[in-house]
Amino acid sequence: MPYFKVLMLLRIPFLVSVVLILIAGTALAQEQRPVPAPPIIGAKSYLMIDGRTGHELASLAPDGRLAPASLTKLMTAYVVFQALRQNQIQLQDEVTVSEKAWRTGGSRMFIEVGKRVSIQDLLMGMIVQSGNDASVALAEHVAGTEEVFAEMMNQSASSLGMLSSHFMNSTGLPNKDHYSTARDLSTLARAIIEEFPGFYKWYSVREFTWNDIKQPNRNRLLWRDASVDGMKTGQTDDAGWCLVSSAKRDGMRVIAVVLGTSSDKARIDGSQALINYSFRFYETRLLYRAGEEVTRARVWKSANEYSPLGLLDDLYITIPRGTYDSLDMIREIPVTMTAPVSQGQALAKISVNLNGDTLLSESLRALEDNPRGSFWQRTRDGISLWFE
């Protein structure tokens, strides 16, 4: 503190006191208050994550296995979306409604046995109206039987890392071997949003009419909060009232999974509270863009003396709101690196710390090739390394 020392030499105690007060005031202003505990919402389990980074924002027993009810239809949709992406089926394909699909109880789209319905209409009936009949019709069309489709659901769950989920049907109707967790369902919701943004838009549709029967989307947050743009409700006596919802404000997306509340109002109010909490106390920032030079590294015996290092994908971080300027970027670069270097090769590491805690760590990769240098360059650098 050089100014403090000068003032002491001049023996001006009043000014010293003023400086100390200003310093103390600045320190207090920069002090970060801890993030308060999340709201109590009366759910058996919930998980709140950042939709872009997957960072956990709030949770209650997120790994507890529970009946997912119609949240199951998120996985049903995911499997159908995959089949569409792989051109195994087309949206305009017509499905003949089986008697099993027609007879399936619970929430319904009201399709009729023997009639032909397009895959797009069935998807709308399942996503907006939560039609069990539509779910079974889709499953049978994609896999032949609902039982085989359930195997596909479990295969997709495994590939997504949903290790605590198991599906027995496409609807979510009760079965003791049919379960999931808040964490797994958040993983699934995030996958749908990232992999199928065009289909995800259908989760914001407020009503759909089929067979002259208009039914509203059961996710009432679509009417309450303009930032909410999906996803899916679920309810059975065993599962309680459940909701997966997603909202986006100022470029930040959050995903809320709320399981086992006592009423429709409880799941809506609880999800809204978690969404507001997340946007109020957290923010997501872009640290570096893909291909942006983060630093340069000396590469010995190379054609180019230095190699630019960066990341292959955009690097985002989720942090408590207002702490961005307190982040520390720590770059770990090996002392000696020799050519050749290939584009994309991991050469160093960058860590992001906040108050001494490491929030994330990523490899820094070569942004371009750096081949071996000429005989003269290799000889020169070899001598330099010997002295080093």
Q: Considering the candidates 45, 59, 98, 130, report the single residue annotated as catalytic.
A: 130
Report residue 204 as tokens. 């914001």
Instruction: Give percent of the chain above pLDDT 70.
Output: 91
pLDDT of 120 reads 98
CB atoms within 10 A of CB 75: 28
> How much is the mean pLDDT over the chain?
91
Q: CB-based burial of residue 31 (10 Å sphere; 0-12 exposed, 13-18 middle, 19+ buried)?
A: exposed
The two beta strands, 45-50 and 56-60, are antiparallel
Report residue 215 as tokens. 């039914």
For residue range 72-129, list pLDDT tens digits in order. 999 999 999 999 999 999 999 999 999 999 999 999 999 999 999 999 999 999 999 9
Residue with tokens 């942090």: 319
Q: Considering the candidates 70, 156, 170, 271, report the single residue annotated as catalytic.
A: 70
Where along the chain do the CATH 2.60.410.10 domains lie? 289-387
19 has pLDDT over 90: no
Residue with tokens 């300027």: 325
- What average pLDDT does range 344-348 have in this prediction? 96
Cis peptide before 252 (omega within 30 of 0): no
Report residue 156 as tokens. 């997709």
* 70 a catalytic residue: yes
Report residue 94 as tokens. 């017509």
Q: Which of 114, 132, 137, 134 is nearest to 124 (CA)?
A: 134
Find all residues with CB under 8 Å of 144, minimum gap 6, and list them. Answer: none
Q: Considering the candidates 73, 135, 186, 302, report the single residue annotated as catalytic.
A: 73
**C-alpha triplet 293, 360, 60: angle, nearest 5°:** 145
pLDDT of 219 reads 97
Class of domain 289-387: mainly beta
CB atoms within 10 A of CB 11: 8
pLDDT of 32 reads 67
Instruction: Give 259's strand partners.
Output: 45
3 has pLDDT over 50: no
Indicate the fold that domain 45-281 takes in CATH.
Answer: Beta-lactamase (3.40.710)
Instruction: Give 23's strand partners.
Output: none
* 232 a catalytic residue: no
For residue range 244-260, list pLDDT tens digits in order. 999 999 999 999 999 99
Q: CB-based burial of residue 35 (10 Å sphere; 0-12 exposed, 13-18 middle, 19+ buried)?
A: middle
Amino acid (1-letter code) at residue 335: V
Give the helix ranges, DSSP H, for the chain: 2-10, 13-30, 72-85, 99-103, 119-127, 132-143, 146-159, 182-195, 197-200, 221-224, 264-281, 375-387
Where along the chain do the CATH 3.40.710.10 domains lie? 45-281
* 248 a catalytic residue: no
